Each structure stands twice: as C-alpha cells, then as structure tokens.
A and B are shown apart, each in its own frame.
Chain A
C-alpha cells in the first residue's frame, strides 16, 4: 500500500501570507471564522486543525507592525470551543514551553483531550525570551540552549503527569520541582500528540527524542528530503522507529482551471501579499536595519546586513536567516541577473506558493513528495480567512482519495490513531 498522506489546516496567520485586502477575506477573530475552517477541514477528512501562537504583537523599528493581520485568540480556549462543533478533527495548538508551567498546561491539554474525546495536540515552541517576557511574571531569561533544556524537561514532566491517572506525583529535575495531586484521570489518547517546530540542531534533537511530529519549514523537494533523512536518522539512538515521527511541512497552494490560469492567480496573490510597504519591511527583516529610505520599485541596498541577533529589527517572529550576509548576496545576485526591483525580488524569494496548478497537478505533486520521502503530509496554509481551503477540499481531496493515498472516512477513534502513531 502506498504511504497515506497526513493533511492539516493552518488557520491563516499574522503575517503577509494572509491577504486581508481581498473583499472575500473574513474576520481573523470572530469564532465563526474558526468554526468555518474547522468544519471545512473535517468535511475534507483532515487529520487536524492547527493554530500558531505569538505572545506579543510583532514590532518593527520599535513600532507595532501594522501592515499584516494583527490579533488572534487564546489557543486553548478556541480549540476547546471547536471540540463542541466538530467530532473527528484533531485540535493542535502552539504553546510556548517557556511561558507556561507543566502542571497547569498538562492539565489544560488533558482537559482538551477529554472534552474532545482524544483529539488534542500540542506544538511545542521555545521562541525568543526577553521580548515576550515583558508580558509575563517570569520575565525574559532563557538563552537558546536553556530553552531547549526546559522544553525537553517540560515534555517529560507533562507526560509523567498524564501517566499519574489523576493521582499523586512528585517530580524534581533540573527545571521543575513540583508535587501534589494531578486531578485529571488518563485522557483518551493517554498522551496528547506532540509536535515540534524548531529547526536548529537542538530543536531537531528534541523532536527526534520526544515529539510525534515536526511542523517543518522545508518545502523545496530536495531540501525537504535532506531534512527528512536528517531527522529520521536521529531516531535510532532513542530506540524509535521511522514511523514514530511524522514530518509535516507548512505549505501553500494555488489551484486554477489550467496551469496557466493557476500561475496567473498565483502572481496576483503574490502582489496582494507583498505591497510596496511590505516589501521594504520584509527586506529589513534580512538586513536587520531601517531601510525606510529605499524605494520598493528600485534596486536592492548595496550596504551589508547588520549582524546583531540579540537586537533584531523585527521582534516577536522566529529568526529566519541563519546566515544574513550569504542570503543578502544571493538576493542581490538574483535581482541583478533578472533586473528585479526590491518588490519583485521579495515576491520571488518570500511570497511564492509551493504548489501551483490544476487540482490534478497539485494532487500529483503532493503525492510525489510523500511517496519519495520529502515528508509525510502537509499543513496547508491558505491566504484567505476562512474560506481559503474550500477549493482544496472540493477538488484536490477527491483526487488524493482516487489515488488511494488519503482516507475516505475517519477510521481511528483518536487523532493519534488517525496519524498512524502508536
């Protein structure tokens, strides 16, 4: 039997992927939008619904970023409400290991798992300290290495609490010293599903040792295959099998009546996603300095990026450029070779959708990724709230089912079972 594809629906996020200027774009905060997308995903027999998280509004040049969608709900509260209006769909929330405490969060995730009858998942992130920290009692304090030490101990501790079956515990490790009665009996999944989204070596190691799935950002097929091998090869030393860790990149897509039609639509969406103002702001995120004096329709800056990772121009967004100078040189070379303006270049390097074509072509390509071990499935990120997945569910899902690589009904009783995890 061919590999079965995992599909998840990402609620459109607070970055320029989400197009709010389109007349069809709905509210990013009304519960109706969440319910609509979740029900669409469930109609398409998706494995899970996915929410990202950011614990402080993004800032650039010291001001709250105002060009993208801003504002979203509390993750656990929305997911629990969705449990009442869906029946099979997994409910995955991103929650930061630094700004929560194990007893409280383990209790909340177990509550979600009970109230949803076994559909809870936690995407563990460890993002930046001091900036988020200003919103919290504990303040900013963890450097990169310590964040992962805390995250690993957090996951171990949460699992130990879930294993108490509601009974007494006493846990002491390098991060936590807690005891008492957990109070939540074993939930339907026993352990809610754990995803991980860090990309550094420490992040990959954490995933290999502790997580059930990785939300990855590797979506070019060659790069994705290298990433896939890299993390799957780390499993053996933890006595885990290849199937115990699913690799699920976040991807975007555009469907059209013909491939040319899809390309044209894709280009139109990219221009919506990258306004002249947004082009300059995205350029600043690599250059790490104020470029407001530059013209988006003109050439790239001749100056080099500023290498200060402790004081980045954008705050509240995960670092995306491990080698700023190298990437800047690549961008300049590309812009010169093709005579691209700043905006054209940004459209090419940041905005491009991953799968563009007829439903048939997109189904074929998605399947090729999975069957050739570039990934195990996809978290689909659409550009329109909340109806952006309608065409995928109506057109692509049936084609995947015809190919025998996607379910025709929910077979598992829990998310864990639907994902093929033990």
Chain B
C-alpha cells in the first residue's frame, strides 16, 4: 500500500533562505506536506509566518504550521490560516497546539494554570470558532453587481454567534472563503483535539484507538525505509511524518522504488490527503431552509 508522506520541520532558524531551501526540497520531492513546529517562548520564528514566507515560492507541498489555541485569539488564528490558504492556493493546514506550560501563560500575562481537561475543551471551542469563521462567507458571496451597486450579496455572509465558556465570537470573518474552504486541521492524537488529520506515536494500539474518518499519520523521526515499510502494512495508517532524516531525497527515492510512495497530482492539501471537498455549513443551512 502506498503512503502519504510528511516532513516535520522543527528548527528555530531566522534565515529566510534556510526555510525556502528546505521547503522547496520537500516540494520538489513531491512530499504531501511539511509541518512547522512552534511554541511560545521557544527560540524560533512564528510558524504561521514561516509557512506564509515559503508559500509563494513553492507549488505543491501542503503547509501546516503549528499554532497555539490556549492564549491566542481564535479570530486572528482563523484569518491568518485562511490567508495562508489564499496565498498557497489551497495548500494550508493547521496543527493545533494546546499549551499546558505555566511559563507560556506568563509570557502572555493572561492567567494562571488551568486544568488540562479544560484546556482541551477550550482548544476544541477555538477550532469550532475557526471553522465557523472559515465558512462565514459562502463561495459566491462576491457578486460585483454593477446594476445595484453591490460588491457582495450580504445574505451569503453569516454571523457565527459562537458563545462558549472561554470566549464569544460574533463574525463573520474579514477574509473571504479560501480555496479549500476548510484548511486541513491537524493535531497530535494524544491532545484529543477534534481534527481531520492526526499525528500518532508509533504504537499500533494508538493507531487502533483513533475514530474512523480521520487521516492517520505515524510520527517516525529519523525513520528508515524498512521501518516505514513495516508501518505501511498496518491497517488504518494513511501516512508517516518523518523528521531529522540525514538525506530525505535518498529516502524518498527508496520509498518510490519499493512502491511505497508516489507523488500526488492533486492540487489542494485536502485532495492529496483524500479528504472530501469541504461543504459550507451555512450554505447547506440556507439551501435546506
């Protein structure tokens, strides 16, 4: 069985050349996506911005930055990631990160330690807000109707009116719906966030525990072609995420030789991962009503 292939970029470089070279290599090799690590307080650049930097100078590879939900504004997250999807013409994703480290709370000066279960609930609320905002413009909201002088049909823009325990967000987004509609939401399986794509540690039991309907990538830092072959035989595994591989192009060539990997011809990240075209929840409601 062939696998989809991701690379985790974890470095803290501030050199634009470094990032462009790394992601271009992944792009040229036909990898499906690159993830960009991040955390508050670490030595390193903002990951969403690094993904934005490389977007205009790459063509195929999915761009999946880590962004934290715990101390941030869901509205900013939503607009930044939708913008990344516009810039990359449908290649954006988001690896949701939950911050449990009190030192990070101190950086933002917001509040003390909160129970992990509550942080997960908050992250899921943030994901819900981000997703609703992504749908808050229907695809055909921009009409440019000279006769009536209207640029948009405002009946195709929607207030999201989210009210949760941690925040309330009115909407609609300030960003028109992006090419994928819903960029791919990813998370570490251990974080229990509701996502399209889950990264799971290399443990068959952990793979088995994942609910159906999610795409599952096994995290294999420094993996060899042999190890990847073993995982390709386990049911429920859609792909692997490698990192710190001495020579990634050798690895990719070897995986192709063994028939374990084939670059995808699909244009959007959702399509590459075999996720369905995202249906807009508000357009659906409107057509049912």
Contacts and interface: CB of A to CB of B under 8 A. Distances in A.
B80 A66 contact: no
Interface in A65-117: 66-74, 76-78, 80-81, 83-85, 99-101, 103-104, 107-108, 111-112, 114-117
Interface string B47-87: 01110111111000000000000011111100110111011
B199 interface: no
A84 B20 contact: yes
Contacts of A139: 168
Given A21-B146, A77-B48, A277-B149, A115 B53 contact: yes
Interface in B1-30: 14-16, 19-20
B72 A104 contact: yes
Given A83-B53, A115-B49, A178-B108, A135 B43 contact: no
A278 interface: yes
A115 B41 contact: no
Interface stretch (B171-179, B214-222, B242-250, B270-278): B171-179
Nearest to B169: A135
Interface residues of B, number: 64
A36 to B, nearest CB: 12
Interface in B73-113: 73-76, 79-80, 82-84, 86-87, 89, 103-104, 106-110
Contacts of B258: none
Binding site secondary structure of chain A: loop
Interface in A163-189: 166, 176-181, 183-185, 187
Contacts of B73: 99, 136-137
Interface stretch (A53-61, A214-222, A287-295, A388-396): A53-61
A189 B287 CA distance: 53
Nearest to B161: A134
A275 interface: yes
Contacts of B50: 80, 111, 115
Contacts of A421: none
Nearest to A171: B109
Contact of B86 (A30, A55, A112, A114): A30
Contact of A83 (B16, B86, B107): B16
Contacts, number: 180
Contact of A135 (B55, B75, B175): B75
A307 to B, nearest CB: 27
Given A71-B137, A135-B171, A104 B83 contact: no
Contacts of A413: none
Contacts of B167: 136-137
A312 B96 CA distance: 38
Given A54-B174, A111-B46, A135-B170, A67 B150 contact: yes
B87 A69 contact: no
Contacts of A236: none
Contact of A31 (B43, B87, B103, B168): B87
A20 interface: yes
Interface string B153-171: 1100100000000111111
A76 B49 CA distance: 7
14 contacts: A56-B174, A71-B137, A73-B83, A73-B87, A74-B79, A74-B80, A77-B79, A77-B84, A83-B16, A115-B53, A135-B171, A178-B109, A180-B41, A278-B149
Interface of B: 14-16, 19-20, 40-46, 48-50, 52-57, 71-76, 79-80, 82-84, 86-87, 89, 103-104, 106-110, 137, 142, 144, 146, 148-154, 157, 166-172, 174-176
Interface of A: 20-21, 29-31, 35, 54-57, 63-64, 66-74, 76-78, 80-81, 83-85, 99-101, 103-104, 107-108, 111-112, 114-117, 134-137, 139, 166, 176-181, 183-185, 187, 275-278
Given A72-B175, A84-B53, 19 more contacts: A31-B86, A54-B174, A56-B174, A67-B149, A67-B151, A71-B152, A73-B79, A74-B76, A74-B82, A77-B52, A83-B53, A101-B108, A104-B71, A116-B16, A135-B75, A135-B169, A177-B109, A184-B43, A187-B14
